[in-house]
Structure 1
């Protein structure tokens, strides 16, 4: 494939990934408002995606022996932690706000590098952190005494902290060949890491969420989406197949076709997409200061992530704005991926 074709294909896949990740919260919130517990929605998402990715996990079963710490960290922090905190946060605050709070992850990563590891950071990275924090102050309207639910904001911040935890674990694991794996083992296949991360996340969430107590009948009903009734099973399919499986896989391939910097720029669109989708499909309106603050958060996150030391090549996850893995939202939120690891609520969100 020629360079121009690779770039076009990579941009298309990166956009598809951003749209898929950005829609996770929009599809999940109606299910939560219909009566499902946020942890149960997360469990359904992760377990459903893990079942779909089982053939991939079997194909890369050598990772269990070579990279056990990486798989455990990815499943615990980037999958279970990020998504549980993100989905819990969107049950209390708007989807766009929750995802933007996760974009504090670059600032937290740089704080870890500077004050815990005592390594220098560039002035550009520090400026990016200041911008991100200042933009977040506009998003949550601190002058109004925090116009959003404080617990919801703390839950979104918890998603960002889980993303940082995964980065720290991944960085330390890379120094000993993947956390106890073979020293001769090559870089882990990112899709394989995603598959096992989903399996680990599903196992952890099964213990935490206790799905046997879930209201299974709710999945046979419908959920309200901005005044319209949508079948619950359709929203669940959206979350599992589009916002998880498709989002992760297209994100992995796009990073391989594009440079990390370009992938990071496109990934930052996830927060914009999530905010617009929540506006159109859920009727969640943000004020002008909040929209301006959101743009500042994204700019600051991108500067911080572009200027920070790169984490080792690794998995791709959903979540917003940290170097390597983010979102969802995410998710994420990734979401944004500046390197070979990406996740909001984002990945979070992610």
Structure 2
């Protein structure tokens, strides 16, 4: 796959991931209103996806021996951490505030790249993040219920940090800059074991044995329409989790954490629009303006990445790796610029 093709594919997958993740709340809200606890919905989401991915986990069981730290980190931060911290923050601060803080992750990703990996960050990328965050503030109408609960804010910030782990670990799983690794770990295998680890962690937190299982056999209300609860659960598991994680991780490998992170800001816009269409939650003028600002910020950030040289790009099993131009030049910058081998 050539560099331009890899970049186009990465952007397409990042958008698909944003759409898939953005639809999770629309499907989850009717289940919660039907009587399921939010943490139980999260457990069903992750455990169901882990069950679907079991054959993949068995196929790539060598990863348990070869990359245990990566698998544990992905499951703990990218799967369980984001969900648990976010839903815990909702009990103390408004939804809009929690969502905005969680989506500070792209800015934190830039900080990771600049100060931990010591790689340069373009001004355009930074400007794109600033625009996207400002747009998100309008999309979630953060001023509608601003509350300064310190513990709640810290929990939401924890979700943002775990979201950073999702982008950083997705990128590091590719093995970029590691001259000793012949072949990067398969991204879908990493996701499969991450979901298994996440299920184990969330089982302790959510305690699903106390769940009202009868809700899954009934219907849930979606803006006046009765929808089978099992159909909504299938949406959450297959589209908003399995498809979302697979396309998201692969897009990070084809692009970079900072670019994919800003494109992921579109999730809040997509969630708001879907809630408007499917749940009857109407958009205000500031939300429409904010959605446009997020789009502009995402476009600026994704177009700011350095253009790779023409020619084929090395690829791992089933997915092309990120371009060589996005990786630091050891001769010019020193070996400390390579991505560390080890967490939205």
TM-score (norm: length of structure 1) = 0.69
* Structure-to-structure mapping, 1:208-287, within 5 angstroms: 208-251=205-248, 269-287=266-284
Q: CA-to-partner distance for each residue in 1:43-102, whole Å, 9 max, x for gaps?
A: 11111110111110011111111111111111111111223344566788668x866654
Q: CA-to-partner distance for each residue in 1:195-226, whole Å, 9 max, x for gaps?
A: 01100100111111111111222222222211
Q: RMSD between aligned alpha carbons?
A: 4.4
Change (3 A) 1:162 1:85: same
How far did 1:159 drift? Answer: 2.7
How far did 1:307 drift? Answer: 4.8
CA contact (8 A) 2:173 2:187 kept: no
Moved more, 2-11 or 17-26: 2-11
* Structure-to-structure mapping, 1:6-21, within 5 angstroms: 16-21=16-21
Change (3 A) 1:170 1:191: closer
Which protein has the larger Cα radius of gyration, Structure 1 or Structure 2? 2
Alignment pair present for 1:82 and 2:82: yes
Alignment pair present for 1:59 and 2:56: no
CA contact (8 A) 1:268 1:302 kept: no
How far did 1:299 drift? Answer: 3.2
Q: Which runs of 5+ in 2 are unaligned?
A: 307-314, 318-325, 327-342
State the partner residue of 2:69: 69
State the partner residue of 2:204: 207
How far did 1:17 drift? Answer: 4.3
State the partner residue of 1:147: 145
- SS of residue paired to 1:286: coil
State the partner residue of 1:292: 289
Distance 1:109 1:295 in 2: 22
Change (3 A) 1:31 1:109: same
Distance 1:230 1:165 in 2: 35
Q: Which runs of 5+ in 1 are unaligned?
A: 316-323, 325-342
Structure of greater relative contact order (alpha carbons < 8 Å, 6+ residues apart): 2
Distance 1:125 1:17 in 2: 20
